[in-house]
Amino acid sequence: MSEVLVVGSLAYDSVKTPSGTAAKSLGGSANYFAVAASLFAPVRVVGVVGEDYSAEDKAVLIKRNVDLTGMQTVPGKTFHWEGTYEQNLNEAVTLKTELNVFAHFNPSLPASYRNSSFVFLANIDPDLQLQVLSQVEKPLFVGMDSMNFWINSKQEELKKVLRKVDIVFMNETEAKMLTQTSNTIRAIKAVAALGPKFVVLKKGEYGSTLYSPGHGFYQTPALPIESVVDPTGAGDSFAGGFFGTLAAAGAKVPEWNDLKAATLAGTVMSSQTIQDFSLNALAKVDRSLFDMQLLQLKQMM
């Protein structure tokens, strides 16, 4: 079993959906990723929080045996995002972004993290993603996430990161925006042509598509969920389940079949996240529940 390093935001989210609201609840890409990945493999977190970040919220990761050596606590308030989901639960509308201590985040990897085999660069400034990569010694497999903000504001820097990673996770809107194409299949292929060996296209309730120029497409449906409460963090939970599964297989470069299995794990973890606000549902997932949901997914396929 290998370890997974994640660098991303540790945040508080205020979310409104058709199911209700949650004010300043635990969120952030690194939190969702770490809780999902830690079900399968050891996780190391690099991020920054303010003095308002409670011991109770930190305990969510500690309970999962996540290594918090790389978590910085500095004076000020923790990053806060406020958003709403209307009828389209696949797209959030951002109402407010308060960077707070995250505005001056300078990811510095502890010495014990630099030998990490699996590295996930969550949705942060591409310059910071490059900064992290320069500190990791010889990773076996590197993944990244991004968003439309970076595609619009730092596209050249983003493309530099794409040339250095093995896999990228994007949703349909982001892939089409980056490649300036309206066709999903052409967009996936165009993203792969920018450098990564593999692309995962996240499609919400319609599942996901894994693509490799050498292997083609692998389509995974979403698990049928009757009540979607809060989609926030679903993509990061998917990536966490994905990378955790790869790391659980040991210190080896993943092959196509490994990635297909990781896609199924990511699908299960994201399906749990959306059933409650914040990390409430995700944090309750154990191996028994996971195995049951994975079996259901395989039977569907």
Whichever domain contains 142, its CATH number is 3.40.1190.20
Question: Residue 10: its pLDDT value, please?
Answer: 97
Confidence of residue 205 (pLDDT cuts 50, 70, 90): confident
Percent of the chain with pLDDT over 70: 100
Question: Residue 90: its pLDDT value, please?
Answer: 77
**CA 146, CA 11: separation in Å to the nearest integer?**
17
Task: Read off the pLDDT of residues 73-90 as tens digits, 9 standing for 90 and up.
Answer: 999 999 999 999 987 787
Please choose, from the candidates 143, 248, 154, the residue with its C-alpha nearest in 3D space to the C-alpha of residue 202: 143
Q: What is the DSSP code string of 3-62?
A: -EEEE---EEEEEEETTEEEEEEEE-HHHHHHHHHTTTS-EEEEEEE-TT--HHHHHHHH
Residues 6+ apart with CB under 8 A from 261: 245
Cβ-based neighbour number of residue 140 at 10 Å: 17
pLDDT at residue 229 is higher than 90: yes
pLDDT at residue 53 is higher than 80: yes
CB distance 104 to 124 below 8 Å: no
pTM, 2 dp: 0.96
* Burial of 275 per CB tally in 10 Å (0-12, 13-18, 19+): middle
Read off the amino acid at residue 195. Answer: G
User: What's the Cα-to-Cα distance from 233 to each of 9, 12, 65, 90, 101, rounded to whole Å?
Assistant: 11, 12, 20, 11, 21
Domain of residue 63: give its range. 4-300
Cα dihedral: 16, 17, 18, 21 (round 10): -40
Task: Read off the pLDDT of residues 162-173 as tens digits, 9 standing for 90 and up.
Answer: 999 999 999 999
Number of structural domains, the chain?
A: 1
Average pLDDT estimate for 30-49: 98
User: Tokens 């996901």 identify what position?
Assistant: 208
142: Cα separation from own chain's centroid: 12
What is the residue-averaged pLDDT of the chain? 95
Q: Where are the beta strands (DSSP E) in the chain?
A: 4-7, 11-17, 20-27, 43-49, 67-73, 80-84, 93-98, 118-121, 141-145, 167-171, 198-202, 208-212, 216-220
